[in-house]
Amino acid sequence: MPLKLAIVGRPNVGKSTLFNRLAGKKLAIVDDQPGVTRDRRYASGSLGDLELELIDTAGFEDVDDSSLEARMRAQTEAAIEEADVSLFVFDSREGVTALDEVFAAILRKRDKPVIVAANKAEGKAGEAGAGEAFRLGLGEPIPISGEHGEGMAELYAALLAFEPQVEAGDDEDDDSKPIRIAIIGRPNAGKSTLVNRLLGEDRLLTGPEAGITRDSISVDWEWDGRKIRLVDTAGLRRKAKVQDKLEKLSTADTIRAITFAEVVLLVMDATHPFEIQDLQIADLAEREGRAVVFVLAKWDLIEDQAAHLTAFREHAERMLPQLRGAPVVALSGETGKGIGHLMPAVIKTHRDWSTKVKTRDLNDWLQMAMQRHPPPAVSGRRVKPKYMAQTKARPPTFVLFSSRADQMPDHYRRYLINSLRESFDLPGVPLRITIKSGANPYADGEAKGHSGRGKREFERREREEERIRASRNTVKKSKRLAAEAAAKAAEAAGLPDPGKVAVKPVKKKGPAVAKAAPSEAAGVSEPGKAAVKSVKAKGPRAQKKVATTPSYKVGTKTAGGKAAAPRRPAAGSRTVRGNTGPGRPKGR
């Protein structure tokens, strides 16, 4: 069981920074200007092995009227009553102020343990201010730094004394995850009032002022035995109007809440719904893949309610076709009228958002949709869808295998999505269809403009490579079998294995210089024969061939030389077959 710790103090002393430090991530909005935090914010954190349930509160103001500061003070007092331990934080660089003394007096009257923390105590600047906390009468202060993480060991030792005892049965965790619902809309549309009506208590700050909510406040709730996590967000204005740094941080926090939500409640003022900003917010939720429920707040201000609701639904179908069939709930957060229709619509939309469709049903529907409206022909060639399957849910995502997938028109894709939503009863759920085409092994042949010939050439190459591989394997196998047979025969005859005996090649030793012929030794050469050159005996491959061509067949070259190239016939002459002998004319 975690220790519930409320972080309290006057404005701008570093409560949200310490809250983010203990939570381990940046949840609360932090800025230099005071009064950023207004509502109580809850988060799970830890300090060493000590589990904590943290509560970030608004800065304490000494006012008691109907102003916004007085309502913020009421939220802080409710957090003190709920927590097990209060961590009173003050600025050690400024020292103890009069507002700190007023707040300390209020804490002393409560029957709750209090720990004093002197924040911003890094360096020597905060040493003097930390000592001033003794006069508050709340015990010894602990110098810490929420920004740099100093003093966390001393804070752990102080909190360890208030660690709750674990009872039997408390360690049983429920694995069921809550349904995350984000309430979004324009400023002053009635979002916080709707959350308070659902919870049955004033959990969030409300009022006539626009832009009261700054942080995205999550509240755990249970409805009809199911866990629900409601996330109240800051109002979203048009991007051109957002200039303040704090408003930019609030907008980023709201967009992050939409990203992590499962169902989005788009709250609109019923007196002027579906303005441009409402359409943009709905389109953002659809692009993020979240289930959307339209909520018409302040319904008690509408006179002709039936006609107004019909006109609203027609307008929603026309302006947001990608969310066709999304449920519309008209209610009043102030009076509670129509509030009972909201959660059943949310549960049904969440069930549709988590739908998984069987592959067989998808392909039967695909054939029916193609028969009703065949795919168009692009550049004279028709796109042919072949197979469809669902890859994941939340949101439902499908993949369609088709020929020429990159040329599928967008209007036919929209037709498939609308038909899918209508056939499987998925109103208001964003659907995703990815169109792919299978790998084509003959793509190279088609690219050259001869798909049939490319296919036959591909098959012919495959057969030729297979034949070559089989032939090589046959030769290797024949050699291996012959070697094995020779080894067996040698073993039977008692001879050594011929494959293992190394045979030393015998070199023939020839004369260094060839002997001359008798006629050459006498100095007389035989006419018509080429002279024989003396060569060294270097083996049969290295030895040059001796020219033995008669001299009358080599032209005018010397004996043993190369034959002369044939002369080209003279212009106007005609070559006669047979006139190629020596001394005969080449033409006439």
For the chain, domain boundaries = 1-28+37-159, 177-352, 357-440
Is the peptide bond between 395 and the residue preceding it cis, with omega within 30 degrees of 0?
Answer: yes
d(CA 141, CA 268): 48
Spatial distance between the Cα atoms of 409 and 377, rounded to a whole number of angstroms:
10
Question: 49-63, 218-232, 401-415, 434-448 — which is least confidently predicted?
Answer: 434-448
287's CB contacts (< 8 A; 6+ apart) are none
Q: Which residues are annotated as a binding site?
A: 9-16, 56-60, 119-122, 185-192, 232-236
Closest of 145, 129, 60 to residue 94, by C-alpha: 129
Give residue 542's pLDDT band: very low, low, confident or very high (50, 70, 90): very low
The structure tokens 């709920």 sit at 82
Q: Which of 330, 324, 314 is nearest to 265 (CA)?
A: 330
| Least confident interval from 73-82, 118-127, 343-352 | 118-127
**Paired tokens of 341:** 């229709």
Q: Is the pLDDT of residue 535 over 60?
A: no
N-term to C-term CA, the chain: 125
Q: Which residues are annotated as a binding site for GTP?
A: 9-16, 56-60, 119-122, 185-192, 232-236
* 177-352 and 357-440: identical CATH topology: no
pLDDT tens per residue across span 310-325: 999 999 989 998 898 8
Question: Domain spanning 1-28+37-159 has what CATH number?
Answer: 3.40.50.300
pLDDT in tens, 484-524: 888 888 888 887 776 665 555 555 555 444 444 444 444 44
Neighbours of 322 (CB within 10 A): 17
Strands, E, within 64-110: which ranges? 85-91
Task: Say whether pLDDT at 184 is over 60.
Answer: yes
Q: Which pLDDT does position 441 carry in this prediction?
A: 58
Cβ atoms within 10 Å, residue 470: 9
Q: Which one is predicted more confidently, 532 or 481? A: 481
What is the reported pLDDT for 456?
A: 74
Return the CATH number of 177-352, one of 3.20.20.140, 3.40.50.300, 3.40.720.10, 2.60.40.10.
3.40.50.300
Percent pLDDT > 70 in the chain is: 80
* Mean pLDDT score of the chain: 81
In which band, very low, low, confident or very high, does the pLDDT at 179 lie, cut at 50, 70 and 90? Answer: very high
User: 352 and 430 in contact (C-beta within 8 Å)?
Assistant: no
Asked if 552 contacts 582 with a C-beta cutoff of 8 angstroms, the reply is yes
Most confident of 84-93, 125-134, 519-528: 84-93
Report the predicted TM-score, pTM, of the whole model to 2 decimal places: 0.69
Q: Strands 291-297 and 263-269, how do they pair?
A: parallel
45, containing H or E segment: strand 41-47
Could you tell me if 181 and 220 are in contact, meaning their C-beta atoms sit under 8 angstroms apart? no
Residue 537: pLDDT over 50? no
Q: Is there a contact between 322 and 232 (Cβ–Cβ < 8 Å)?
A: no
Say if residue 77's pLDDT is above 80. yes
The string of pLDDT tens digits covering residues 250-286 is 999 999 999 999 999 999 999 888 889 999 999 999 9
Give the CATH superfamily of 357-440.
K homology (KH) domain (3.30.300.20)
Give the residue from 559, 579, 558 showing the smallest Cα distance to 569.
579
From 98, 90, 94, select the one nearest 114 (Cα to Cα). 90
pLDDT in tens, 369-418: 999 999 888 888 888 899 999 999 999 999 999 888 888 889 999 999 99
pLDDT at 356: 93
Taking alpha carbons only, the member of 126, 122, 62 closest to residue 93 is 126
